């Protein structure tokens, strides 16, 4: 009875099901399919190649309720699944099943198949329908929705990249403004424009005074030795003393005191380095922003159709003979199990 019922249904009642297949891949601009050795394939076990992550997102989208909602705007998908040429056991809603969004989603998952062909790296999308045009049309619409999803992901990634780059530029600008304000405050408070250059100038003056004082001291020593009663000796001694005092003053202005230029140099160098680093950081952030804006003008990933969905001219489902043979095998197994069970009971039954 199960075999006869199945055979009657498959041959007389079951509707023809047409399958439309398409293949696509998610690529990045300039992506090349490199020849990778089998050893490299074994070693490379972590990470996703360019586009593979986006392909997984597209497959998850096709299998989601969101895709069904996008397809079923106006109830078009439900109309296709409730095709009048479909038999009463196959069409939506199936017998003893309520007409709900959840039951429609389960039926939708039975009518579409999407997966990754690991040998070619292509995403294979198969859509079933009770009419050739229905299967092909639904496949086309899913491809269009997938392309829209990839474009939306690109737009979201570009906006995020540019937004983050703009935030880094804003922070770098704030750092530059803060560093310049600190440098200006230091110069105004300490009355120094560039301590290093000013200290160099002060030391040059001090060295010049040292040389002049040495020359005067030599002249004074010679005069005291040769003409100790020379009336110019007191004036020369006063001039040497003035030179020594001026030299000490210049040296003290540069080093040796808490108010000297050397004591202010570490703070100046720290502020100067911060100002330089802030300017370099701003230049790098500005360059990154320009790169992000340049990348935003190019599409990062795109869906490339390798095999367009065709209108099937022959029904490939259901597999009638396979189904009948499967039911026949299962029925025979159940029959023999029941027969052995019955024989066992009869053998152990008490004799009257």
Q: Taking 60 as the threshold, does the pLDDT of residue 42 lie above it?
A: no
> 324 vs 44, which has greater pLDDT?
324
122-129 and 112-117 as β-strands: parallel, antiparallel, unpaired? antiparallel
Residue 5 within any structural domain of the chain:
yes
The stretch 91-105 carries a mean pLDDT of 89
pLDDT of residue 117: 92
Residue 251 has a CB neighbour count (10 Å cut-off) of 19
DSSP, res 314: S
DSSP-based three-state secondary structure for 6? helix
The Cα–Cα gap between 6 and 322 comes to 11
Which of 145, 153, 152, 148 has the alpha carbon at shortest distance from 67?
145
- CA geometry: angle at 151 spanning 150 and 152, to 5°? 90
Do the beta carbons of residue 165 and residue 290 sit within 8 Å? no
Provide CB contacts within 8 A for 249, sequence distance 6+: none
Do the beta carbons of residue 129 and residue 80 sit within 8 Å? yes
> 28 vs 275, which has greater pLDDT?
275
Residues 23 and 131 both lie in one domain: yes
Residue 335 within any structural domain of the chain:
no
* Greatest mean pLDDT among 40-54, 62-76, 238-252, 282-296: 62-76
Number of domains within the chain:
2
Q: Taking 70 as the threshold, does the pLDDT of residue 81 lie above it?
A: yes
Residue 40 has a CB neighbour count (10 Å cut-off) of 10
299-311 per-position pLDDT tens digit:
578 899 999 999 9
Residues 100 and 153 both lie in one domain: yes
CATH number for the domain including 67? 3.30.70.1130
Residues 236 and 285 both lie in one domain: yes
pLDDT of residue 106: 94
Single residue among 239, 267, 293 that ends a domain in this structure: 293
- pLDDT class of 265 with cuts at 50, 70, 90: low
> 33 vs 316, which has greater pLDDT?
316
The Cα–Cα gap between 275 and 172 comes to 11
Residues 100 and 146 both lie in one domain: yes
Residues 208 and 265 both lie in one domain: yes
Single residue among 293, 312, 342 that ends a domain in this structure: 293
Q: Which domain holds residue 243?
A: 190-293
- How many residues in the chain? 352
The stretch 184-192 carries a mean pLDDT of 72
Residue 336 within any structural domain of the chain:
no
The Cα–Cα gap between 69 and 77 comes to 9
The dihedral sign for the CA sequence 184, 186, 189, 194: negative
DSSP, res 24: E
Residue 224 within any structural domain of the chain:
yes
DSSP, res 352: -
Q: Which class for 90: exposed (0-12), middle (13-18), buried (19 or more C-beta within 10 A)?
A: middle
Residue 140 has a CB neighbour count (10 Å cut-off) of 15
Residue 212 within any structural domain of the chain:
yes
Residues 287 and 314 both lie in one domain: no
Q: Taking 70 as the threshold, does the pLDDT of residue 329 lie above it?
A: yes
Place of tokens 């997938």: 146
Residue 175 within any structural domain of the chain:
no
Single residue among 273, 293, 313 that ends a domain in this structure: 293
Residues 58 and 105 both lie in one domain: yes
Residues 127 and 18 both lie in one domain: yes
Provide CB contacts within 8 A for 7, sequence distance 6+: 324
Expressed in percent and rounded to 5, the helix, strand and coil fractions of the chain are 65, 10, 25
Residues 97 and 129 both lie in one domain: yes
Residues 202 and 255 both lie in one domain: yes
Provide CB contacts within 8 A for 39, sequence distance 6+: none
Q: Which two tokens stand for residue 227?
A: 């003409």
The Cα–Cα gap between 214 and 127 comes to 103
Percent of the chain with pLDDT over 90: 30
pLDDT of residue 306: 93
Which of 117, 111, 115 has the alpha carbon at shortest distance from 125?
115
The Cα–Cα gap between 206 and 35 comes to 73
Q: Where are the beta strands (DSSP E) in 28-76?
A: none
The dihedral sign for the CA sequence 238, 240, 242, 245: negative
Q: Taking 90 as the threshold, does the pLDDT of residue 66 lie above it?
A: yes
Residue 198 within any structural domain of the chain:
yes
Percent of the chain with pLDDT over 70: 80
Residues 98 and 59 both lie in one domain: yes
Residues 15 and 29 both lie in one domain: yes
Residue 40 within any structural domain of the chain:
no
- pLDDT class of 191 with cuts at 50, 70, 90: low
pLDDT of residue 226: 79
């Amino acid at each position: 009875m199960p075999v006869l019922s199945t055979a009657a249904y498959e041959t007389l009642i079951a509707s023809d099901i047409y399958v439309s297949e398409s293949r696509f891949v998610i690529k990045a601009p300039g992506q090349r399919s490199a020849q990778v050795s089998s050893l490299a394939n074994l070693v490379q076990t972590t990470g996703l190649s360019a586009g593979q992550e986006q392909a997984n997102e597209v497959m998850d989208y096709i299998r989601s309720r969101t895709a069904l909602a996008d397809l079923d705007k106006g109830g078009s998908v439900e109309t296709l699944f409730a095709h009048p040429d479909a038999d009463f056991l196959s069409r939506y809603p199936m017998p003893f099943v309520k007409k709900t969004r959840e039951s429609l989603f389960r039926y939708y998952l039975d009518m579409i198949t999407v997966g990754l062909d690991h040998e070619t790296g292509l995403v294979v999308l198969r859509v079933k329908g009770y009419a050739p045009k229905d299967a092909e049309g639904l496949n086309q619409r899913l491809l269009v929705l997938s392309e829209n999803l990839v474009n939306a992901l690109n737009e979201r990634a570009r906006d995020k990249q540019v937004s983050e780059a703009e935030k880094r530029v804003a922070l770098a600008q704030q750092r530059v403004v803060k560093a310049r304000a600190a440098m200006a405050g230091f110069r105004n408070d300490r009355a120094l424009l560039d301590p290093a250059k000013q200290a160099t100038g002060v030391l040059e003056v001090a060295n010049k005074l040292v040389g002049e004082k040495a020359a005067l001291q030599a002249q004074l020593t010679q005069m005291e030795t040769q003409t100790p009663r020379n009336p110019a000796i007191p004036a020369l001694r006063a001039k040497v003393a003035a030179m020594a005092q001026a030299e000490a003053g210049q040296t003290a202005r540069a080093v040796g005191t808490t108010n000297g230029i050397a004591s202010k140099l570490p703070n100046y160098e720290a502020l100067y380095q911060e100002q330089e680093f802030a300017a370099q950081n701003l230049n790098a952030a500005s360059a990154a922003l320009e790169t992000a804006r340049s990348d935003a003008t190019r599409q990062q990933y795109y869906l490339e159709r390798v095999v367009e969905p065709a209108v099937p001219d022959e029904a490939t489902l259901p597999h009638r003979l396979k189904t009948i043979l499967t039911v026949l095998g299962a029925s025979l197994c159940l029959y023999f199990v029941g027969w052995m069970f019955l024989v066992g009971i009869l053998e152990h039954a008490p004799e009257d």
